[in-house]
Amino acid sequence: MHQTQKKIILNINNSILNTAKKTINLESKAISNLNDLLTDDFADAVSLMYNSKGRVVITGIGKSAIIANKIVATLNSTGTPSVFMHAADAIHGDLGLILEDDVVICISKSGNTPEIKVLVPLIKNAKNKMIAITGNLNSFLAQQADYILNAFVEQEACPNNLAPTTSTTAQLVIGDALAVCLLELRGFSSKDFAKYHPGGALGKRLYLRVNDLSSVNKKPQVALKTSVKQVIVEISEKMLGVTAVVENNKIVGIITDGDLRRMLTKSDAFIHLTAKDIMSSNPKRIDENAMAVDAMEVMENNGISQLLVEDNNGDYAGIVHLHDLIKEGII
C-alpha cells in the first residue's frame, strides 16, 4: 500500500476514534449529572410502584418508546410486573390496557409531543398515578405528572444536537435505577432471578444442580481389590475417563486415565496390581444438591475435569464431567 494511502487511512481511523471517545465522554458526563437531578420524587415514585396492587404501564413515542420497552423488560425480569403501551396506539384504542390500580410512566424528552398532550389528560381522568421521565420540567407532561424524574441533558451526542442519543441514555439509566431500587426493596434474590430466567446459559447457572448432570451419566465404580485389568474395562465402558473406588457405598479413591498412564510408565508388570495400588485417595467431591456452577469452580480451582458426586447420606452418587458443564453452557 502506498504511503499516502496509509496516511489517509490512519487519519480516518483517528477521526473515527476521536468521535467515538467524544460521544462516550459526553454521555458519561450526562449520566453522572443525573445524580444531581434526583429529588424526593424519585423515592416517592419507587414507593408508589412498590406498594401498587397493579402493574407498571410504561409509554412513550419514537426513541423513548424503545427505551420504555427495555425498562419494561428489566422490571419484569426483576419482579415488578410491567407492560409497554405505545403512546400513539394508546389514543387509538390501546388505552384500555391500563387497569384501575396500574401506575403509568410516561417517557418524553420534550414532554410536549402531540401524542403525549392527548394521552396525559386521559390518564389523569382515569385517576391513575403518573410518573414522568422528561428532560423538560416546564413541559405539559411535567406539569401534569404526579412525580417528575428529571432526565435533562445539556446536548445530544449527535453533532447536530438532534438525534436522540444522550437523552435516551439518560432515560435508560433512570429506568435501571428504578428497577434496582425495586429489586432491593423486594429482597429479590438469585433464586428469584432464576425463576424469571429459566432459559439460556444465565438461567442454567442459577438453577442447574449437580444431580441434574450426574444422574444422566453412567456410574463407574470399582472396589479396592478390583484388578487393574477390570479397572481399565470399567473406565473404558463408562466412557468418562475415570472411575470411583468405593467401599460400603463410600468413596475411598479415584482412578483416572492419567493414573493408568502413570502406572504404565512406572511398571511393566501390573497384572498383580489392584485399584488400591494405583488410586488417588481423598479425591475432590461435591454434594449432588450443589449448584452446577459450584462444580465448575471446584474443577477450575483444582485443575481437574471430573468430580465425584455424593448423595445426602454421603454415599457415592455418580460423576459430573467438565464436558457436561460445557454442553449446558455453564462454561
Rounded percentage of the chain residues whose pLDDT exceeds 70: 93
Cα–Cα distance, 175 to 52 (Å, whole number)? 17
CA distances from 238 to 102, 234, 235, 246 (A): 58, 6, 5, 16
What band does 270 get if pLDDT is binned at 50, 70 and 90?
confident
Q: Which of 260, 229, 226 is nearest to 242 (CA)?
A: 260
Phi-psi region at 248: left, alpha or beta (left = phi > 0; alpha = psi -120 to 50): left
Average pLDDT of 130-156?
96
Query: Residue type at 50?
Result: Y
Cα–Cα distance, 172 to 178 (Å, whole number)? 10
φ, ψ dihedrals at 166, nearest 5°: -60, -40
Higher-confidence residue of 268 and 118: namely 118
Partners of residue 251 on adjacent β-strands: 246
Whether 200 has a pLDDT exceeding 70, the answer reads: no
Cα–Cα distance, 72 to 51 (Å, whole number)? 17
Higher-confidence residue of 148 and 11: namely 148
Q: What is the largest CA-CA distance in the chain?
A: 92
Rounded percentage of the chain residues whose pLDDT exceeds 90: 67
Model confidence pLDDT, tens digit, residues 40-72: 999 999 999 999 999 999 999 999 999 999 999
CATH number of 210-327: 3.10.580.10
What band does 194 get if pLDDT is binned at 50, 70 and 90?
low
* Rg (alpha carbons) of the chain, rounded to whole number: 31
Judge whether 86 is annotated as a binding position: yes
Contacts of 136 (CB under 8 A, 6+ apart): 109, 110, 111, 112, 142, 152
CATH number of 3-188: 3.40.50.10490
Helices (H) and strands (E) in the chain, counts: 15, 12
Residue 303 cell numbers, joined: 485443575
Which of 90-99, 153-162, 165-174, 185-194 bottoms out in mean pLDDT, i.e. has the lowest? 185-194
Using CA atoms of 236, 240, 246, 248 in order, give the dihedral in degrees to the nearest 10. Answer: -110
Q: Is 312 helix (H, G, I), strand (E, B) or coil?
A: coil
CA distances from 67 to 70, 155, 170, 211, 261 (A): 5, 18, 10, 41, 59
CA 167 and chain centroid, separation? 25
Question: What DSSP string runs through 187-239?
Answer: T--HHHHHHH--SHHHHHHHH-BHHHHHTTS---EE-TT-BHHHHHHHHHHHT
Please report the pLDDT score of residue 77 as a whole number.
87
Q: Do domains 3-188 and 210-327 have the same CATH topology?
A: no
What are the structural domain ranges in the chain?
A: 3-188, 210-327
Cα–Cα distance, 264 to 271 (Å, whole number)? 11
Cα–Cα distance, 67 to 133 (Å, whole number)? 11
Residue 289 cell numbers, joined: 444438591
